Structures are given as structure tokens and as C-alpha cells.
Structure 1
Amino acid sequence: MKRPLPAQPRHIGILRLSALGDVCNLVPTVRALQRQWPEARITWIIGKGEHSLLAGLSGVEFVVYDKASGLAGMRALWRELAETRFDVLLHMQQAIRASLLSLGLKAAVRVGYDRARAKDAQHWFTHRQLPPHPRAHVVESFMDFACLLGVEDTRLEWRLSVPDAAFEEARRLSAGRHYLVVSPCSSVRVRNFRNWSAAGFAAVIEHAWQQYGLVTLLTGSGTAKEREMCERIAALVPDREALVDAVGQLSLKGLLALIDEAQAVIAPDSGPVHMANALNTPVIGLYATSNLQRTGPYCWRHLAVDRYPQAVAQFLHKDVETLGWGERVRHPDAMSLIAADDVIDRLDTLLSEPRDET
């Protein structure tokens, strides 16, 4: 027998540790829950870096789990929440680490993904599963949790917290100029081939400067690979005034502020495209190795350069319509299907249209 869902939850737990883009995509679900039950307490168990991005989100209590702390960190978190009992726990992380972490949390009912979307046998750790939702975007998959609880108002709302100090941090780099943000690198993972070419980025940066007088701020966390990529891009941009190297110089809140005041963001499938989406900043996503319709910037998918169908055909020898919804193209040449002219065309289209500030 299925455990009943609370009709009027007083305390809602959310378990989603990572990643930066995913936690941005989850915020509209939090807002939908708050609209439905404004008096409900919401506690979000989140990763350390992700918390630094979302800290200050109104109406949410965060409990931080440092993923590097392993079992000792889990035990510490269980002790911290020993006296807490959730009316419902929304288990939104499809990973065995998160499922193990959930075992030490007290909840009347635990909700997880349906079997088609769950990974690492997540259904073994939950009492109720979402109804199937084939071909759902990540934003929609998160909102399915709210819908299962009875939420009907699913309009998208973010209202991220960006403090004044973050805008001061960003403005020290932008220095009053009109600018683009280019974040050329996605996270470092095994067989992660999401990054585009340095030459492609350099061509787009030069075009933005020559045609529109837009400076480009290069951003990233400052790893050795990111530093190398940005140095390669800078070496290919003829006009030094066209580029500001901001790699490793911003906090995550500072990056939010920088994106908020940018004319546009250009990046591969990575956290910054979803940060831009959450802030209603136009974003040109560069997609070939992952499915734009599943993981693209939700409100700006129409601006993306999408070569995923071609990559599936060329490197997997399959048809995108019959491919598994979350399958990636793990081939080092996939992103080469994106040409500089493709991105320049999207940028020209964007800059020729008035921006909707709503």
C-alpha cells in the first residue's frame, strides 16, 4: 500500500546536493511549493558549493552537506537533523550517495523519480514515485514533485538572492562597460567533451567587439584547464581591448551579479547557462554532446546552437528520436560540429531584438 501524501504539509524536505545548474533549475519548484503552502517550512539539504550560489533564497532553510566529507559528513548531518521529521521528503538526487544520505533522515513519506528517470536504484529508497513523464526537461522533472503533492500553479519564478556586495564585485571587473559573459569550460569530468574550440570563441568575441562594441568577460573557476583555455582564446583575439580575463576572480554570487547585468551569456552545457536562465539574461547555449531539450537553458532554448541530432547520427550512428532521452555523445569531435558562424548568427539575432525585461 502506498504511503499517503500530506494534504497540508507543514515541513517539506528537499534533498538535492548538486550541481550548480540543477539547483538553479530546482528553484521554480521551491517557489511553486511556497505559493501553495506559504506557511510551510522548507528545508533544503544541499552541497557546499551549491549553497554558496543559492544562499539567501527567501523562505528556505539550508542544511549543507560537503560532498567531500563522505560518511563522517553524513553522520554529522544526521546528528544535526536528529530531531527533525519531515511530512514529506522530496528525494531529487539520482545518486547512490544521496540515497544513502536519505537513510538517516526522518520523513513520513519519501518521494522519488519514476523508474524510467531514476538512477542507482533510487526507487529502493523511496515510498512514492513520480508518474512517468517521458522526454521531460530537468525543470519539468523537478516541477513534477510539486505537481504530485497537488500544486497547480506551476509558473516559473526564481528570485535568486544577489547581494549588493556581489554587484560591487562584478562592477569592479565590468567597469561600466557593456559586455558579454563567455564561460568557455564546463566542469571537469571523465569523458566530458562539452567544451567548444578556442578559435570559435575568439571569432565570436572579435565579432561582438567590432560590430557592437561589446567587451567580453571570460569567466571560470580558475582551474589549470580553464586557465589554459582562456589563454588560448586571448592569444587568438587581435584586439586586446575586446577581452577581460575574469577567470578565478569572482565568487559564485559575484558571477550571478556579472551575468545579471550582461547583454548575453555564451557557454556550453554548464552551470552559467542555467544561472543566466534563472536571471532572465539571454543565453546562447552550445550543445552537441547533450540533449538541449533535456538540459538546455529552459527559457532560451530557441537561441541555442543545437548540433546534438547531428552528433548522434555521426558519432553514435543512431536516430535522435529513438535514442535514450538522457544519453550523451561522448566523442571528442562532437562540439566541432558547431561553427563560429552559427554562434555569430545567434548573437546577431539576439542583439537585433529588444530585450524583454519581465
Structure 2
Amino acid sequence: MPKTTLRRMALAAVTGIGLMPVQGLYAASVDVQVIYLRQQVVPAPVLSNLDPVPEDLGIAGANLALAEVAATGKFLGETYALTVIDVPPDGDFAAATREALAGAGLVLVDATAAELLAVADTPEAADKLLFNVASGDEALRSADCRANLLHTIPEDGARTDALMQVLAAKRWSKLALITGPKAADLVYADHLRRSAAKFGLTLVGEKAWSFDTDLRRAATVELPPFTQDLPDHDVLLVADETDDFGRYVENNTWLPRPVAGSEGMEPLGWTHVMEQWGAVQLQNRFEETAGRDMQSRDYAAWAAIRAIGEAVIRTGSADPATLRSYMLSDTFKLDGFKGRGLSFRHWNGQMRQPIAVANARALVTLAPVEGFLHQRNETDTLGLDEPESQCHAFTE
């Protein structure tokens, strides 16, 4: 029997797709080399150390996905390898970037927006395909987009849009906001304001977080008077993206109101409390290998490698340009255990994906929420839509 026919039969067996012609089903083997490039950072001091950042954050998701695609690929003549380049906080990230780009054409980058742009703009990256698995910075999907950079982590504005869709659906229309002092808090607060306006909600009052006391002992005493002068509201939003003070706000406010944003009801790329669409099975597999719950950055890395695997199967190639073209096409769909197929926006490289709005113990719902319509894809109601994005790299 010809090897091409054997490959087609193997594809049908592992994907459930019949023996119809599929581009790239040929006899040659495919070697897929992937790099995970991470710039470590020193965590900022916070009031509580109850939730330390896992040392393998992101990497654990990539490892799980690699095992999954490799299990499928062995039936199709595909081999996969993942190399982690972990740069310490005081390490030479530029040198690590050159090493990564020399080692493979497919690179997952776990770094800040500025570092992502530095990697994407390196001459050696011109013919590579990079995946942003860490930064939700809007500019990377707009004026600072790069044609060789796709995004599997949700943009910040998509998360706040998801939250506001849920609040609008519940008719919780009057919002108050507490904003932390750190740069990430200020950016997130700005997205909360813009998303509230986008979906017709009213921000009735704001306060800047200014405590320098130990709230582990004083939250019950300090927080009620701090929130007392806020106008009456339906929901109290918290912008605390560094996980510093938000945990002390809930149940310590003057008015008995739900808390949302960085605490309470959170919009997340992934949460372990999702139970539908096979999400439990994904979480169980992750927990077996990593020994902890999957987080949003783990999911972003998992999605990037699963997207690579899906594109390799369909094209029979590991060439970055070939894979990019397929991923940005209308044909590409990835089962992401979120109730609908995931795809990439062809105008800025952002992966379309539902956003989980959840509390610590249960999923509230997935956004986009029913009733928020879009002429092309309802997921495009979350984050920058094509007319709003200033990204031109994907059309030039």
C-alpha cells in the first residue's frame, strides 16, 4: 500500500476525518522544532503570599500540548521537540533571542510587550513564526502589531469586554472602581472604563488605592470607611492585576455588593472551574503532569502548540510561512474546550476565544454572552474589532 495512503488512513484514525484529500498528506516525515523563550521576572512584593506564581507557569501548558501533538504525530510521520530557553531576570535576553531563533522556526515567547517587539523585530525573526503567550497589551494587536507574531493569550480589552457583557446581561449597570497604584493596575482600570462605556454601563465613582497598612489584620476596620463615600452602585470593580490588595476587598465593603475585575468575578483566559465541553478532561491531564491547576498562561502556551500541531497535520509541513498562512485562513479551527472552535483574526493575529467569567469556585458564564451579535463572528465582540485596530502589518 502506498505511504501516502497509509498517511491518509492514519489521519482519519486520529482525527475522525474520512479519507478525503487533505493538503500535505505525503510520505515524507515532518520534524517540528519548537522553542519556548521566557524572560523571568522578579515578582513584585505583595501583601499576601498565599498564591505564589508557579515556576513552570506557561511551560507546563506547552509540555502538555507537546505530549498530545506528539502522540498524534507519530502515526503521521511527524516528530515534535520542545526546547525551553529560560532567561534569568539579570540574563542576556538579546543573546537568548538569537539562540532561540537559530534553533527553530516556531517560537513561543513569554515576555513583556517591549521584549516581544524586540524579538519580533530581530532580523533573524523575519522568516519565523512567533506566538505571544504572556502579554495582553492592546498595542501588540494594533499599532505595534507584527506580521510574524500571533497571540494566543487574550488581549486585556477582551477580558474586560467579557466582564461587561456579563454585567450588562444581568442589568448591573452602575459600577464603582478601586484602582491600585501599579502600572498594570492603571492599564487594566482604563480597559474597565472603556469596556463599561462600550456596553452602556455607568461608572458612578472611583477611588485610588492608597493603603500602606497590613490589611491582613486591618481589612475589616479599614475597608468599610474607605468605600463608604462611593456613590450607590451595583458592582464594585477592582483593578489589582498584581494580586496585591484585591483579596481583602470582598466582604469588607461598606455596601454589600458583588466584587468583579481582578478579584471576585474575574474574566480569564482559562479557569480550572470550567466543567463543560471536555474542559474537565483537559484540566485533569494538566493536573496529572503539573501537579496544580491550569492557569491562563498555561492555556495560552497549550493553545499555541496545539495550533501548531493542527496546522502541521493539515499542511504536512513545518515551514513557518506555510503554517502561518493556514492558521490565518478561514479553514483553521482548533478545539479549545471552550464550546466553540478557536481561530485567528486575519487582521492582527489574535486567537479568537471565549473568555471565562468566573468566581473562585464556579464558572458564571463564557463570553461572548448570548445576545451580543457580530456580523462575522460573535467572539469579535470581545477586544479590538477590525475597524478599531490600527494593525496594518497583516494586510501589507
> Does the TM-score normalized on the shorter chain lie above 0.5?
no
Structure with larger Rg: 2
Q: TM-score, normalised to structure 1's length?
A: 0.32
From the two aligned structures, give the one with the greater helix fraction. 1
